[in-house]
Structure 1
Amino acid sequence: MSRTTFSDRSSLHSLIRTARGQRRWDETIPPHFRPLLRAYLLAYVSVVAPKILSVLAIRLTGRRASKARQLDQDSPYRGAASTRRLLVDALRWQRFPAFCAALVGGSTLLEIPFRSIFGHLAKGLSGVARQRLSRWCASFVAAWLSIQLLQSKRSASFSEVAPATADSLGETKRQTVRYAGRTLDLSLFAATRALDVVVGELWSRREVRRRAAGKWTGFESAVSRLIDPAVFALSSGVIMWTWIYSPERLPHTYDKWIASAASVDSRLIEALRRCRQGLLRYGEETGQAPLLQGMCKDYNWPLEWGDPARTIPFPCEMVHMGCGPSCELHALSRFERSFRWAMRTYLPLSLLLILRNPNKKGGTTALVSAARSSAFLGTFITLFYYGVCLARTRLGPKLLGRDSKTSQRIDGGICVASGCFFCGWSIMIEQSRRRKDIALFVAPRALATLLPRRYSWDKQWRETFVFAFSTAMVFTCVLENKRRVRGVLGNILAAVLAP
């Protein structure tokens, strides 16, 4: 979501119209059922299209027979019937499209009876207040019921077989224990959006009052501009810290993507983890030398570099992984490699996005957009590595000292914390209108690292309540003031929920 943008002049409203813009494609559908149909079709395409493109990309661009055979063996959508199976699987009632249809359709249809109920029970409220309350309650009930479609789907990752026990008759029985947490990311996404709506509305009202009184300050303007970059910097720092020290708290696909982007030797990461755990201690023989000495052999470095009992700390050149001793040259090398890696992803996506509104400048726009996003990612990776080097070599020893205990502290967390602090501020390269989407995309993932990925099934109602309450706030707000729900999500919801 963070990589897709829509301008004010070309919102998703245009996607639900015909090519000439004269009639909407769903004009013949009864108004109350239009949001349901739009939500289902949009969710279905969002689920199916990336998978189809992934299968086609491997088959058409990775032309080697071995890759094709690997795809057929590894993919659940393999063989001649792969596309058909993919299309059918997305239609199941426990999948994301059915969830979106139940959520949006329920919130729209349930508003009718709730209006009638509050029309009789809340006559003391104004018409606007009754309408707002009806919308909130309808959205709350729809969200509560719809998320249970996703939660009801059984998953091997969220269940395990309990140890066998014997009953009163001596018969051995095994029970399967189910855990909650499959929808945690979705619930945190809704909670983050609801919090953004509330904070944004309160800050907007404050700004209006203070500007009217002539008390609006430059500091408050700076806060308005920097809040999204700060949220992204904090969130990405938390994620990178988790990736280094607790990768099991990240989804597997997220962990794998970061590892691919970082392009770092896993032995180096393991050495930093052991430093923090106290298994690898400078100036002491703890049997950890073989870990980094394996890197020394691969890169033709002196073996003593990898021995923490003899080399305190291990040279920063090992962090550079073959780029030489200069931290600055290593940073430039990292940017160049990361930029090229990112362009292979962002340029095709940018070219696909301009197809919705092709024009003469489309190619240039796509190239500039891809280059900017690639520079952002390249700078992110560069700042992380250079932040580590600053703490280990450039500034850390000068400020803190060079003895073995200080080196242990630096490699035991300070150097990683430095990289985590600096990397997120690369968001300033992106356009301001995209910063909010990226920040709100990353924030719930950072929150997820602070919570258990699996938890007791009997506590799932708490997550369900958070999702329903947050979704009701967002839906009610987008119908009252669509500009308050910022970014791409606001445009999508405004288009889907429109009569």
Structure 2
Amino acid sequence: MTSSLQPRSAARRGPQKWDRSVPPPLRPLVRAYALGYASVVVPRLFTLVLQQVTTTRKSRGGGGPDNGALQPPRESAVVSLQRILRTGLDPQRFPAFCAALVGGSTLLEILLRRLCTRIPGSLSVAARKRLSQWLATFTAAWLSLKLLQSKASRGFTETVSAENGDGSIITPKTISYAGRTLDLSLFAFCRAFDVIAGELWAQRRTRRLANQQWTNFETAFSRLADPSMFAVSCALIMWSWFYYPSRLPQAYNKWISSAASVDKRLIEALQRCRTKELRYGEDTGQAPLIQGMCREYKWPLQWGDPAVAIPFPCEVVHMGCGPSCEYHALSRFCRSFQWSMFTYLPLNLLLVARKPSFRKLKHALLSAARSSAFLGAFITFFYYGVCLARTRIGPHILGKDAEARNRIDGGLCVGTGCFACGWSILLENPGRRKDMALFVAPRALATLLPRRYPLDKQWRETLVFAASTAVVFTCVLENPTRVRGVLGGVLNTVLQP
């Protein structure tokens, strides 16, 4: 009898049974800390397991190619495990930040709501509630980001030599820079912008539908907004990867390089074309760069001499796939699709392993194939865009003389590839496009800003993060469906009492 009278909301809260013993005001804090801890620790544990499996295989196979060579000592798996588990407990790391942000916003909101009820004024109850939510989240976001920013990082400190007043003694001086939390702040900004723009567009749509003024152009704009944001963001990211790699995080740079699978000498040659160190029709001493590729791929050496070859044949860009740009594009797609399947298929099968069924297995295979086709097309469109500008279309528009070739290889060919690659998002599942667009947008914005900047300007970043987070959290509590994608679901789960 008692169980039948139990509220349905409690029955629906299946995944959250573990925190029922926690007082309701503290539940968001506990959930946020647990989620943050898992996001920090689980990927490192997964990497540790892979390293142990690789080490075991090498030892069973006789040590591989490095057998007998002197190797640096490695810490044991137990020591690595302990270090990983302790890392997540650091009070200046992401788990504590999540707890301070979410827990601080919910607890401060309770306090501010009580204060707002005592303040006379014409504000409605709903308006007072929103105001208390916004102010509570703004304060918690400001303080929690300060917590992250307080942790010293070697990449954001620099020791310089400074002369004393008399100019006789040079004293080392350590300078600290801001920018360590820039990616997180830009992520919050993009999410807040998406919330505000989405709400304004939804109101416009409702108004125009009621007046029967909604047009096909507006329908197409709605459908292409996320793919366009993804394509523009990817164009900025790929341009930076090619010409300004220091603007991207090192891990991101490394992943793109691995997926692109391009000879670094070719990248360097096109970079020198942009800086005009390498110019067609002139001997500027740059021939040995591409001629090294010519020897390796058994091409004529004159292909690598910019004074003779105007321009380098497109076969150099194909890196051993023959002279046909179309065959090279097809070859790139097949290789990239296979490389992507090795990444996506195990992840999809892992999700099916808990409750396997033929229907779920089929869905996992199709999902992995679709995502692999997207990534394969992304890489293919980039390379074929380069070929379109260098060989298929560019010379017929700009000309075939040395000056035109310098302009094409000085940035136009790479720019065409950067513009084309992001539109492969149209091959992805429409439900995933918004998450992917909102994932790459902050990284694209980061390429337009300095990775490090003076510490006295850090308050600006903190202000943007606090205001943006306040917008997102307030929207989640008022209208959870407005915060799109996975983040909306996660925040809704974490913030509910």
TM-score range, shorter chain: over 0.9
In the TM superposition, what whole-angstrom CA distance separates every residue of 1:330-365 from its partner, at most 9, and x where no partner exists?
001000110111111111111223346544422222
The alpha-carbon distance between structure 1 residues 288 and 50, as it changes in their structure 2 partners (threshold 3 A), is: same
Whether the 8 Å contact between 2:248 and 2:447 is mirrored in structure 1 is yes
Range moving further from structure 2, 167-176 or 378-387: 167-176
Aligned counterpart, 2:160: 162
3-state SS of 2:44 partner:
helix
**Equivalents in 1 of 2:386, 2:408: separation in Å?**
9
3-state SS of 1:175 partner:
strand
* Cα deviation, residue 169, structure 1: 11
In the TM superposition, what whole-angstrom CA distance separates every residue of 1:451-497 from its partner, at most 9, and x where no partner exists?
00000001100000000000000000000000000000000000000
* Cα deviation, residue 173, structure 1: 2.8
Return the match for 2:29 from 21, 29, 36: 36
Aligned letter for 1:17?
Answer: G
Percent of aligned pairs with the same amino acid: 61
**Equivalents in 1 of 2:13, 2:26: separation in Å?**
14
Structure 1: which 5+ residue stretches go unaligned? Answer: 1-12
Aligned counterpart, 2:443: 445
Return the match for 1:54 from 47, 52, 64: 47
* Cα deviation, residue 285, structure 1: 0.7
Aligned counterpart, 1:467: 465
The alpha-carbon distance between structure 1 residues 102 and 357, as it changes in their structure 2 partners (threshold 3 A), is: farther
Is structure 2 residue 373 aligned with structure 1 residue 375? yes
Is structure 2 residue 58 aligned with structure 1 residue 64? yes
**Equivalents in 1 of 2:353, 2:147: separation in Å?**
34
Aligned counterpart, 2:476: 478
How many residues get paired?
A: 481
* Cα deviation, residue 399, structure 1: 1.6
**Equivalents in 1 of 2:11, 2:101: separation in Å?**
23
**Equivalents in 2 of 1:181, 1:243: separation in Å?**
19
Return the match for 2:433 from 416, 424, 435: 435
3-state SS of 1:197 partner:
helix
**Equivalents in 2 of 1:51, 1:127: separation in Å?**
46
**Equivalents in 2 of 1:15, 1:314: separation in Å?**
65
Aligned letter for 1:185?
Answer: D
**Equivalents in 1 of 2:200, 2:380: separation in Å?**
36
3-state SS of 2:19 partner:
coil
* Cα deviation, residue 113, structure 1: 1.4
Whether the 8 Å contact between 1:167 and 1:173 is mirrored in structure 2 is no
- TM-score (norm. length: structure 1): 0.93
The alpha-carbon distance between structure 1 residues 467 and 221, as it changes in their structure 2 partners (threshold 3 A), is: same
Whether the 8 Å contact between 2:161 and 2:170 is mirrored in structure 1 is no
Aligned letter for 1:190?
Answer: A
**Equivalents in 2 of 1:247, 1:171: separation in Å?**
38
Whether the 8 Å contact between 1:16 and 1:25 is mirrored in structure 2 is no
Aligned counterpart, 1:9: none
- TM-score (norm. length: structure 2): 0.93
**Equivalents in 1 of 2:114, 2:401: separation in Å?**
75
* Cα deviation, residue 17, structure 1: 2.6
3-state SS of 1:177 partner:
strand
**Equivalents in 2 of 1:345, 1:283: separation in Å?**
44
Aligned counterpart, 1:295: 293
Aligned counterpart, 1:268: 266
Aligned counterpart, 1:8: none
The alpha-carbon distance between structure 1 residues 206 and 180, as it changes in their structure 2 partners (threshold 3 A), is: same
Aligned letter for 2:49?
Answer: L
Whether the 8 Å contact between 2:348 and 2:364 is mirrored in structure 1 is yes
**Equivalents in 2 of 1:365, 1:245: separation in Å?**
39
**Equivalents in 2 of 1:411, 1:196: separation in Å?**
36
* Cα deviation, residue 439, structure 1: 0.3
Aligned counterpart, 2:194: 196
Aligned counterpart, 1:389: 387
* Cα deviation, residue 168, structure 1: 6.4
Aligned counterpart, 1:406: 404
**Equivalents in 2 of 1:443, 1:239: separation in Å?**
9
The alpha-carbon distance between structure 1 residues 441 and 169, as it changes in their structure 2 partners (threshold 3 A), is: closer
Return the match for 2:214 from 210, 213, 216: 216
Structure 2: which 5+ residue stretches go unaligned? Answer: 1-9
Aligned counterpart, 2:80: 82
Whether the 8 Å contact between 1:122 and 1:130 is mirrored in structure 2 is no
**Equivalents in 2 of 1:336, 1:441: separation in Å?**
26
3-state SS of 2:161 partner:
coil
**Equivalents in 2 of 1:411, 1:418: separation in Å?**
11
* Cα deviation, residue 141, structure 1: 0.2
Aligned counterpart, 1:257: 255
**Equivalents in 1 of 2:169, 2:281: separation in Å?**
58
**Equivalents in 1 of 2:83, 2:51: separation in Å?**
18
**Equivalents in 2 of 1:391, 1:224: separation in Å?**
31
Aligned counterpart, 2:14: 17
